[in-house]
Structure 1
Amino acid sequence: MSSKWDPSKWVLHRLYSKHAGLRKRLPPTSILTPASLSRSLKSYGAVYIKGKNQHTGSGIIKAWKTANGYRFVKERGKRVNTKSIHDLYYMVRDGRPSRSVLVQKAIDLASIKGRPFSIRLMLMRDRERKWKYAGMLAKVSGKGSIISNVRRGGGYATTIDKALAQSLNYGRKQIKGTKRRLIRIGFETIRHATKSGYLSHETGLDLGIDKKGKIWIIEVNLVYPSYGLFNKIKDKTFYRKIKRLAAAYRKRRKD
């Protein structure tokens, strides 16, 4: 069950669908049913199946059409084939309660040496409770993994500059412009959430860039977003800034 404190992926999807500017950046998403699964696979060819309240890449499944039926893989596990959409539905639902699972269009993300990456962007409130940009990095999927969560997927973290240069061959000017757009989208996202009554003092957005350069909103974490990965990259500037903002906000709350 979700709340204003910890809203589910579905609640947030519906929330951002009401924002004209953000709506176009949301991958098409539905509650998982045999009909929605069949329709999504026909429309997009490949989909992700994820629990409404699951985080850190836990339980995520990718399914796609094949010449003889369907195939799916869970996180970085074994690929499974099936010919029936109904068999596929029950397999990917995996015993989870009805209406607790989502089916979402699989975005053809930009990749580094064949390994897709997503972007973690951190926004945090400062001592004066003003939202500040705290940093961003790229999370590169592990070999054979369908998720970019580094711990679960066996991938690695790198700077957004390196990721954009290596994947899309962006130059300095394109990288700078893309980072500005990512930050702007981040602020639009948190403003819409807070105006709608969702309380938060730090948020971690998982954004994606497809192979054509379009930016997508994959997931918004309004509660306890992880930022340990910022300590995994060589330049600790963002990690120090995140720790400084977090400490300042905690101190303000105690004053």
Structure 2
Amino acid sequence: MGHRLVGILLNAAMHRGVPRLKTGQESLANYEEAATAYGLTPCFLKLGDIDTDSGLSSAYIKSEKGYERTLIATPAIIHNRAIYTEDSPGLARLLQHGPLLFNACNRYGKDEIHSLLEQHAGLRAYLPATAKGSAGLRSMMAAYDDLILKPCRGSVGQGVMRLVRRTPRHWSWSYRSPSRGRWITLPVDPENLPRVLRSRLAAVPYLVQERIQLAEIGGRPFDLRVTVQRGWGGEWQLTGLFAKLAAPGGFVSNIARGGEAISSSFALEKVFSGAEAARIRMSVGALSLRIASALEQSLPGLADIGLDIGIAGDGRLYFIECNGRDQRYGFQKAGLTEAWKDSYRRPMGYARYLLESGVKT
């Protein structure tokens, strides 16, 4: 296979860091190694440097002197690693006039994903009870004693809150205070919810969900992050999974909120027997592939996602959320180096497959 260019689309801030090798959690070395394995040369772009009229782009390509800006013919295949929504004008222009871009839109509302999965009868049993907004909160408080409130468009655990019934007439409300940098828990009257809580619900759309009693290690709940990607051949493949363990005293497992990444086998075998832990791992993998296949029917170009799957104390599985731009560094933090590298190899294999086959996403 001759070497051909493959584009990696980054946001502007990360793109600026390429020549200094300061790209946050994205590993340039992993991209280089993965692309080389498939006879590709990665070039790192930002949206503003792609000229759809001329077919030319300015991109960073590695040379003997390091990464240098080079004027190139825009690559035929680009993997999107920047955050864009469906209404992005620049993205729409690129999709209409430019190259083949996979994982183009990668910011989906939690309510949108839940609604799409709810249309598949075989997946409904894995979805927590869910409602939306202030009206949904009232109905959920009448039906459940423990609730999680999530911004529909939030990420890395930002804006997540919890409501727990303590007595028939009193609840506790937990939220993270940006000014204090820690979690605050306050008693609340269900008939007179705090103004700050009502303001949050009015400011942005919120999803209200039954809180699943997740399996715990030492009182710390955990869920599993499952990376599912298309690779060579175009089919969905399970790249790997790790456990996200909430910080002591916390209920949010996000690594960016103090959670810890550990081996999924280690976490599951702390709670379940070896045979049951193995069965759960296999079931989680199978469920994740089913979810990816269901979502691709409504989300064109989907090719690289991270799914959060919760495991209740009795071993039941629940879909928690879908991450359109999977943060792969959790594998590295969990000591799963090969899975971390595989999370870069699979998209490069898919890019080569698209180049060879001429398949349209």
**Length-normalised TM-score, structure 2:** 0.64
Could you say if the C-alpha distance between residues 45 and 84 of structure 1 is closer, same or farther in structure 2, counting changes exceeding 3 Å? closer
- Residue matched to 2:268: 164
* Deviation, structure 1 residue 2: 6.3
Q: How many residues are aligned here?
A: 249
More strand by share: 2
- Residue matched to 1:82: 188
- Residue matched to 1:137: 242
Could you say if the C-alpha distance between residues 95 and 227 of structure 1 is closer, same or farther in structure 2, counting changes exceeding 3 Å? same
Secondary structure of residue in 1 paired with 2:141: helix
Aligned-residue sequence identity (percent) comes to 24
Comparing 20-29 and 110-119, the one that deviates more: 20-29
- Residue matched to 1:16: 117
- Residue matched to 1:28: 129
Secondary structure of residue in 2 paired with 1:95: helix
- Residue matched to 2:20: none
- Residue matched to 1:116: 221
2:263 maps to amino acid? T
1:156 maps to amino acid? E
**Length-normalised TM-score, structure 1:** 0.89
Alignment of 1:1-255 (within 5 A): 3=86, 5=105, 6-33=107-134, 35-67=135-167, 68-75=169-176, 77-88=183-194, 90-97=195-202, 100-152=205-257, 154-166=258-270, 168-171=271-274, 173-221=275-323, 223-252=324-353
Structure 1 unaligned regions, length at least 5: none
> How large is the Cα RMSD of the aligned pairs?
2.2
Larger Rg: 2
1:25 maps to amino acid? Y
Structure 2 unaligned regions, length at least 5: 1-83, 87-103, 177-181, 357-361
- Output the CA distance in 1 between the equivalents of 2:272 and 2:201: 41
Secondary structure of residue in 1 paired with 2:237: strand
- Output the CA distance in 2 between the equivalents of 1:84 and 1:105: 16
Could you say if the C-alpha distance between residues 253 and 219 of structure 1 is closer, same or farther in structure 2, counting changes exceeding 3 Å? same
2:273 maps to amino acid? Y
* Deviation, structure 1 residue 216: 0.2
* Deviation, structure 1 residue 38: 2.8
Bigger relative CO (Cα 8 Å, ≥ 6 apart): 1
CA contact (8 A) 2:157 2:256 kept: no
